[in-house]
Structure 1
Amino acid sequence: MNNQRPFLLILMLFLCLPLFALIALSLGRLNFSLATVIKTFTNPGANPLATNVVQNLRFPRVLAALFIGAALSSAGMAYQKTFANPLVSPDLLGVTNGASVGAAMAILCGGGVWLTQGAAFLGGIIAVGLALLIPQLLHQQGNLILILAGVVVSGFMQAALGLLKYLADPDSQLQSIVYWQLGSIAKIDRPSLLAIFPILVVGFLILLAYRWHLTVMGTGEATTQAVGINQTFEQVIIVIGATLLTASAVSLSGTIGWIGLVIPHVARLLVGDDARFSLPLSAILGGIFLLVIDTLARTLSAGEIPLSILTGFIGTPVFILILATSHRRKSL
């Protein structure tokens, strides 16, 4: 594929992000025109009600949706390329279950939003750290042993989460844990975003720095060794970058499924397997997708719909369509 076409597609979608954000800011239980939304930033005193709703309630959510969607989809692309497996998702090494355990412990301790987010981030990092440590303790290397270590850690974290749910007060704490697991960005504010943003930037920069090698790593370990890439070292670095993105996203929003699995496939269908283009495109598409999902979550009904419910309903048929399209292309 000509490199100019993927670049132009990425540039066009990136330049459209402000428009998508303005549309999301205008929609909700109170609808505003795009002109009114723009005026809340250029002349906040003209409409105090609109300014309060747009800047204090919706603007942090819009930014969070863009950042979290980009983080999860980028991490999914990195994992799928690193492990040469298109069915891999960002929670491969137990980061999501580890974050859930951390959040559940904070909820049981009566912690607020900040403590829950911090404990979730720490839980996700610990889970991946354990998954990386197990192959070292067994003196074994390779994708298979690392994936198996992730399965073991995920299983342990699921058991721990089940115990915490059993101990939780069913009238208050259990509901909070379950709601957190279903995913929501309703409680995200500017300080939360500012605290996590540097970590998101570091994780994404790591993946961008290694995007040249991700394409080769996606073809399998034999090809990686043939071109002289240090598979083990670069795999660890990429996993660290993807884990920082996933743990940061999950600590803010809870568990949101399908984005890290489906969006990388969509990006590859549009620009091919070259990670130089598919990685940034995946980030942009992931941000747009979650922005649409969150807008639907707060406008479809009187109550807030958990994000994982909508991503599941939309992601499942989209993924089936992608698989059917890929199979049809291979058979031609």
Structure 2
Amino acid sequence: MKKKKWVLLKILFIFLPVFVFMFSIGIGRYTITPYEVVLSIIQAITKNDMGISLEIFTVVIEIRMQRVFLGAVVGAALAASGTAFQSLFRNPLVSGGILGVSSGAGFGAALSIVLYNSVFMTPVFAFSFGILAVVLSYFAGKIENTSPVITMVLGGTIIQSVFSALVSLLKYVADPNTELPAITFWLMGSLASTKSSDFLLSCIPMVVGILGLLGFRYRLNVLSMGDKEAKTLGINVVTNKLAVIVFATLATAGAVCVSGVVGWVGLIIPHVARIFVGNDNRYLLPASLSFGACFMMICDVICRTLTAGEIPLGIVTALVGGPFFIYLLKKTKGRNW
């Protein structure tokens, strides 16, 4: 890619999420102008009175900003892990949940709701079982100290099926008046019930995962060529694969434990980014981070403004992502894959 073009795209990728962030904070039942949003943020940072009413300041700083920022980080994390796995497995139809992290997290959340029904324990269980699912998938697909792509995908498919069955079992035994609705709503995804403690704890694995994947984006180009080619170029295939899987899993598990199971972000956003920058992961990962953050913030705005009640996030991402994926397929004719 030409240096001048990349500089222009880099500016776009930096400022586009900032613009969508300001736009998203202002949209809701109580409409706030971008100017008032900026003044509220300045007032919160500097502690100086900027002439903003208490109602606007409360809505911006204490209600919307945390939720919108969390949506941006979750979208970026899911998009980055999807991009990494598509390159690692050389498959355009995989996402961050290919190794079972989403189904494992879903089981962990359901188990927590049945056993404790605790707001604090649910994200902890979801994160822990999401990590466990990926570990089981990795060892299920490991053959004689190697990890072929096809066996890892098969291992992930098996573990996903097992945890999905366990989730169904928990739904069957859950209290239909309290526990079952809570499990169902969590599995559909939402950013509405996130607490400050959940936000801070979940951001740590997401940020670590994102930074780790950015650091490995050069080696992802080599790994996407195949194991034999990577070994020829001096890359330790097993170690680097494991590192990418660990960072992508941290990003996805951190996202899922606070947002619930949200599909399509890790699948469709990498393809959107490829239209702008191509398949080179040096440019593709930063582009996916930017577009993923924007996509999730826009979907969250739709969730909380389209109807009187709040629509689950997973429903909106599927309704938006599905038709758009078909459009991309027809437009590109598979050339970017």
Q: Return the match for 1:243 from 232, 245, 249.
A: 249
Amino acid at match of 1:156: V
User: Contact between 2:142 and 2:148, CA under 8 Å: does it hold in 1?
Assistant: no
Aligned counterparts of 1:31 and 1:214: Cα–Cα separation in 2: 43
1:127 partner amino acid? A
2:141, 2:153 within 8 Å by CA — same for their partners in 1? no
In the aligned structure 2, how far is the partner of 1:266 from the partner of 1:230?
30
Distance 1:290 1:24 in 2: 10
Match of 2:59 in 1: 53
Asked whether the equivalents of residues 79 and 267 of structure 2 are also in contact (C-alpha less than 8 Å), the reply is yes
The yes-or-no answer on 1:314 pairing with 2:320 is yes
**1:163 equivalenced with 2:169 (yes/no):** yes
2:21 equivalent in structure 1: 21
Amino acid at match of 2:248: A
Deviation at 1:324, TM superposition (A): 1.7
For 1:48 and 1:295, locate their aligned partners in 2 and report how far apart those are by CA, in whole Å: 23
Q: How does 1:1-332 map to 2 (within 5 A)?
A: 1-41=1-41, 42=43, 43=49, 46-136=52-142, 141-327=147-333, 329=335
SS in 1 for 2:306: coil
Pairwise CA RMSD of aligned residues? 1.7
Residue identity over aligned pairs, in percent, reads 36
Alpha-carbon distance between aligned partners in 2 of 1:97 and 1:328, rounded to the nearest angstrom: 29
Secondary structure of 1:288's aligned partner: helix
User: Which ranges of 4 or more aligned residues in structure 1 deviate by more than 4 Å?
Assistant: 136-140
Distance 1:79 1:295, change over 3 A: same
Contact 2:142 2:151 survives alignment (8 Å): no
Q: Is this contact kept in 1: 2:78–2:96, CA < 8 A?
A: yes
Cα distance between partner residues in 1 of 2:81 and 2:210: 8
Q: What CA distance in whole angstroms lies between the structure 1 residues aligned with 2:143 and 2:165?
A: 22
So what's the TM-score if we normalise by structure 2? 0.93
3-state DSSP class of the match of 1:46?
coil
8 Å contact 1:7–1:277 — kept in the other structure? no
Q: Which moved more, 1:41-50 or 1:83-92?
A: 41-50
Tell me, which stretches of 5 or more residues in structure 1 are unaligned?
none
* TM-score, scaled to structure 1: 0.94
Q: Please report how far the alpha carbon of residue 166 of structure 1 lies from its aligned counterpart in structure 2 after TM superposition.
A: 0.3
In structure 1, the partner of 2:46 is none
Using the TM superposition, give the Cα deviation of residue 146 of structure 1 relative to its aligned residue in structure 2, in angstroms. 1.1
CA contact (8 A) 1:44 1:51 kept: no
5+ residue gaps, structure 2, are 44-48
Query: How much has 1:238 moved relative to structure 2?
Result: 0.1
* Contact in 2 for aligned 1:98/1:120 (Cα 8 Å): yes
Q: CA deviation at 1:140?
A: 5.3
Q: In the TM superposition, what is the alpha-carbon distance from 1:44 to its structure 2 partner?
A: 7.0
